[in-house]
């Protein structure tokens, strides 16, 4: 069920002084931390975009997996125009979630795109999702919350170890 990568994996971890680690943590994410691939998951084959550098230890209290699925009415994969709309909506949601939940990645299957977050405070997450949904064009949205203290969703949904 592993991820078949299409983009090179980030360099293997190296031992860095604490000050260097803190500097990297403060830098904005780069393309190197994101991987694009395919995974055979619980819902069948999916196209995955995932943050391979995201670590559980950096988010010690984020023990809730939040999966937000946008149902695609034609039941297929999005065409370029729809993909651009979904990407813009996803970017907006990520910006709204800043400080509330950490974005782990997304899966796109025929009929659905699911964004995966890890969060600590579900009430704050629900408030953000409700506000985000109000500005969307008419779409069917499904939201699932599950306690996931070991972040097993990363391997199950995103194909990451």
Q: What is the pLDDT of residues 139-157, one digit of tens each?
A: 899 999 999 998 888 888 8
How far apart, in whole angstroms, are the C-alpha atoms of residue 40 and residue 108?
Answer: 12
11 pLDDT exceeds 50?
A: no
Top pLDDT among 130 and 32 is at: 130
* Predicted confidence band of residue 32 (pLDDT cuts 50, 70, 90): low
The highest-confidence range among 14-18, 55-59, 94-98, by mean pLDDT, is 94-98
Mean pLDDT of 38-55: 81
Strand order in the sheet with 112-119: 4-5, 34-41, 44-51, 101-109, 112-119, 64-71, 140-147
Boundaries of every domain in the chain: 4-156
In this structure, the strands spanning 64-71 and 34-41 are unpaired
As a CATH number, domain 4-156 is 3.30.70
């Amino acid at each position: 069920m592993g991820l078949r990568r299409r983009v090179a994996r980030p360099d293997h971890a190296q031992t860095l002084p604490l000050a260097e680690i803190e500097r990297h943590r403060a830098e904005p994410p780069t393309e190197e931390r994101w991987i694009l691939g395919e995974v055979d998951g619980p819902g069948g084959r999916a196209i995955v975009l995932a943050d391979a550098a995201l670590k559980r230890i950096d988010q010690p209290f984020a023990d809730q997996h939040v999966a937000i699925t946008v149902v695609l009415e034609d039941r297929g994969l999005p065409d370029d125009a729809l993909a651009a709309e979904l990407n813009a909506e996803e970017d907006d949601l990520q910006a709204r979630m800043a400080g509330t939940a950490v974005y782990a990645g997304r899966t796109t299957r025929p009929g659905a795109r699911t964004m995966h977050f890890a969060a600590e405070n579900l009430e704050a997450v629900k408030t953000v999702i409700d506000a985000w949904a109000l500005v969307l064009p008419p779409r069917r949205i499904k939201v699932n919350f599950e306690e996931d203290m070991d972040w097993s969703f990363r391997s199950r949904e995103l194909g990451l170890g």
